[in-house]
Structure 1
Amino acid sequence: MKQQSQEIAELIMKNPDLPVVTLTDIENGSGYSSFAAGCHGEACIDYIYNPTGNDLLLNHSEDRPYFKFFDEVDGLEILSDRVSYRDDILDVDYLKKESERIWESYAWRKVILIYSAQLDEVAYLDLKGV
């Protein structure tokens, strides 16, 4: 965990102009909003996009913005389905190219993404000397 903290700190120091965004898995099937403590994992440079207006990506099932690399497979699949419906076309090559074109055309914003897992127990943290 200490090594990961150092890597995250270095990434932030090398990219001081980039916003830091966290993505935390939450096991909550209740349908209500909740807060969760997260134990940080990996960090990387990614791009974030929040669908708006008549965007084909609107109504993201997880109700969060998209991350370009993290969500690419799911995002392209959603776009392909919606382009197929919109254009009434089943041509796989056309759907792939059009979905990729749309995906790349979004106004992606560069960020530092820190992926974290839900922290279930505080005992997991090494709090000695804090």
Structure 2
Amino acid sequence: MKQVSVQQKEEMKKLANLIIENPDLPVVTMTDNFDDKGISVWTAGCCCSVSIDYIYSPKQRDLLSGPKDDRPYFKSFDYYEAIVEMSERIHPHDNTTNPEEIWNNLAWKKVILVYAGQLENANDVYKERAVVE
């Protein structure tokens, strides 16, 4: 296993501080985990990004079709795709035609979000997010 990078150490310190400052918030992890065939697999992740975010699990009769890729929606990650999806599903007789209003009024739950990349690809995740060169 590779040694922990400076960026990973900073994110772990940030995570510890967020937990100490927000002991009432749940910690939620999100890891990209696909094998060579594109099939979802269980994997260990390496902390790449930590932030306060909001999570929402769709309910029956929501304009959202269901959990995105078998996971709940995250306000910061899923906004654009969800707005498009809801726009296509709004019926002319619905109370609103504004998907952003619907999105903002969902029962969001505030969480500490830990985004983790696969251990062997953690440096690629940092490059992708323009954190390192």
Q: Structure 2 CA distance, aligned partners of 1:61 and 1:106?
A: 15
Aligned-residue offset at 1:101: 1.0
Aligned counterparts, 1:54-93, within 5 A? 54-83=61-90, 86-87=91-92
Where in structure 2 are there 5+ consecutive unaligned residues?
1-7, 122-133
Q: Which residue of structure 2 lines up, in the alignment, with residue 9 of structure 1?
A: 16
Who wins on radius of gyration, i.e. which is larger?
1
4+ residue runs over 3 A deviation: none
Q: Is 2:113 the counterpart of 1:113?
A: yes
Q: Tell me the percent identity.
A: 45
Q: Structure 2 CA distance, aligned partners of 1:111 and 1:61?
A: 18
Q: Which residue of structure 2 lines up, in the alignment, with residue 124 of structure 1?
A: none
Q: Indicate how the Cα distance of structure 1 residues 68 and 61 shifts in structure 2: closer, same or farther if over 3 A, else same.
A: closer
- TM norm structure 1: 0.76
- TM norm structure 2: 0.74
Write the letter of the residue equivalent to 2:112.
I
Q: Structure 1 CA distance, aligned partners of 2:118 and 2:89?
A: 32
Where in structure 1 are there 5+ consecutive unaligned residues?
89-93, 122-130
TM-align CA RMSD: 1.9
Higher relative contact order structure (alpha carbons within 8 Å, sequence separation ≥ 6): 1
